[in-house]
Structure 1
């Protein structure tokens, strides 16, 4: 198995460090790395109007996200919505706290709702997925659901994204059943969540160093590689100019598009942990005899 499709520093998107602690990629798009995961802020702070938070980091990230939002959008500013790419512990860790504090709606794909309504846990992690400490420790990571049912809404069926004009959501399952990515056609910007990531996430060194590479979803927490492959093919077909993923640095340009096409074309050789727990037996909700989603 090929472990990586390396990128270089020349493939990194230009960013501007802001006084609010974010890394600004575009006038209306910024992100903040909270430990090992990226939280994305949509909205232009120089213009009046709504802003949107995309994902909420770990359970320890709430205060930092609120402080960052206040500096970026003004004291007591609250988003029009929180949009979830998926509900794994490192993306939904602070969603209960933030949604309650701001009293705002939380939007997710209908298939992701059970994990945001306290109803279902994710399948067990795969410690045989290859890599280092992050993979070996993965069975210890939280996979129980959070509960924001009082504020939870399904994303609109027309694929529009509330509070984000010009964007649409794309169903990109595999890493989770209701995983979504966000796409803006006008400048070919992709917020990929964990459908693809731009660094390895299987070892502690990779997670900290964030060495740029084109990478499939984190192997230890991806239960359906068949769907993950289809999702990567969809994202490659978009030919994105800029990619912001849940883990790693934002990347852009022709070489990045080429590496994404290469990942899609050779997905099993590059991304799938051969012989891992879900290699030939994907975990799917409702699959007969499969208790992984209880």
Structure 2
């Protein structure tokens, strides 16, 4: 695992020595250099067999195109993610009303644009050697995790996080996927049930530190209090996928806080710039 601030990427060795390695997720666009440096440290000039995405959000697929071009390797994602990764459509808009704290504020400005990873993107049919793709939809329509039976290890993507984001400062703690960008809470619950049925001993996340040496039933105990989000535009109207791959999104109610939030942020920036300039003139 390579932690890149609040997002993680994974370097997977295959079961057979000398048979190569694979990369799971690619962080944000400016993480390209850090990932390449870590890959060289681990594997020299050996390119991965492929890049595997848990899903296509900007913080997981941000460097995918650049890394695929650099290594000349394919990028794999679940079929339901392909419309968002081939330039066909954008992800559904964020829902700031689904939580409080800094993430709610940040979601006003975060990108939900799709990406165009052609010609590198391919539908996911199997995982890296020794790893099985496990559908874990809810956060996105086609999110997957990667499961290694021999070690009972699961890379869960954003099906869960070990990071709480509902306050003004992020803090460690097991929680649901990032609420503003999660579009089907009923599927989130079913994906959690699928994770619990696997009974992983090690659980890796897209955000937060891993959980290791989990005892049987421990994860179920730690998530038994989890409840479907009580507020938010996607709670009662989850996103569905049309036959052409585009997301079907219920009409979005007006967000009265959006303009106010942007005005407050711009006002704060303008005020800071004014005082900085005034202090500089006085000095």
Higher relative contact order (CA 8 A, sep 6+): 1
Residue 128 of structure 1: aligned partner: 97
Q: Is 1:235 matched with 2:195?
A: yes
In 1, are the aligned partners of 2:240 and 2:249 still within 8 Å (CA)?
Answer: no
What runs of 5+ residues in structure 2 fail to find an aligned partner? 253-283
Deviation at 1:47, TM superposition (A): 4.4
1:226 maps to which of 154, 177, 186: 186
Matched with 1:49 is 19
282, 287, 294: which one pairs with 2:238?
282
Could you list the per-position Cα deviations for residues 177-227 of structure 1 after superposition, in whole angstroms to 9, with x for gaps in the alignment? 010001111121000000111121344621xx4x2x221111111010011
> CA RMSD, aligned part only?
2.2
Q: Which runs of 5+ in 1 are unaligned?
A: 1-30
Q: Which structure's CA Rg is the greater one?
A: 2
* Alpha-carbon spacing, 1:248–1:170, altered in 2? closer, same or farther (3 Å): same
Q: 1:177 to 1:78 in 2, by over 3 A?
A: same
* Counterparts in 2 of 1:180 and 1:261: CA distance versus 1, 3 Å: farther
Q: How many residues align?
A: 248
- Candidates 140, 149, 154, aligned match of 1:190: 154
> 2:185 touches 2:234 (CA, 8 Å); kept in 1?
yes
Whether the aligned pair in 2 keeps the contact of 1:236 and 1:261 (CA below 8 Å) is: no
Spell out, residue by residue over 1:40-85, the C-alpha distance to the aligned partner (whole angstroms, 9 max, x if none): 11117x94231100000011100111111111110x3211100000
Counterparts of 1:26-175 in structure 2 under 5 Å?
Answer: 31-43=1-13, 47-74=17-44, 76-156=45-125, 160-161=126-127, 164-175=128-139
Q: Are the equivalent residues in 2 in contact too, given 1:129–1:219 (CA < 8 A)?
A: yes
* Matches of 2:194 and 2:249, distance apart in 1: 30
Task: Provide TM-score, normalisation by structure 2.
Answer: 0.81
CA contact (8 A) 1:202 1:218 kept: no
Provide the C-alpha distance between the structure 2 equivalents of 1:136 and 1:248, rounded to a whole number of angstroms: 20
8 Å Cα contact 1:40-1:54 kept in structure 2: yes
Q: Per residue, is there more strand in 1 or in 2?
A: 1
Change (3 A) 1:233 1:132: same
Distance in 2, Cα, partners of 1:234 & 1:106: 25
> Per the alignment, do residues 174 and 38 of structure 1 end up closer, same or farther by CA in structure 2, a change over 3 Å counting?
same
Q: CA deviation at 1:288?
A: 6.2
Q: For the Cα contact (< 8 Å) 2:101–2:165, is it kept in 1?
A: no
Q: Secondary structure at the match of 1:42?
A: strand
1:7-51 CA-to-partner distances (Å, cap 9, x unmatched) read xxxxxxxxxxxxxxxxxxxxxxxx11112100111117x942311
- Alignment map for 1:253-292 (pairs within 5 Å): 253-254=213-214, 257-263=217-223, 265-268=224-227, 272-286=228-242, 290=250
Runs of 4+ that moved beyond 6 A = none
Give the Cα separation in 1 of the matches to 2:249 and 2:84: 20
Distance 1:203 1:54, change over 3 A: farther
The answer to whether the 8 Å contact 1:188/1:242 transfers is yes
Superposition deviation, residue 232 in structure 1: 0.6
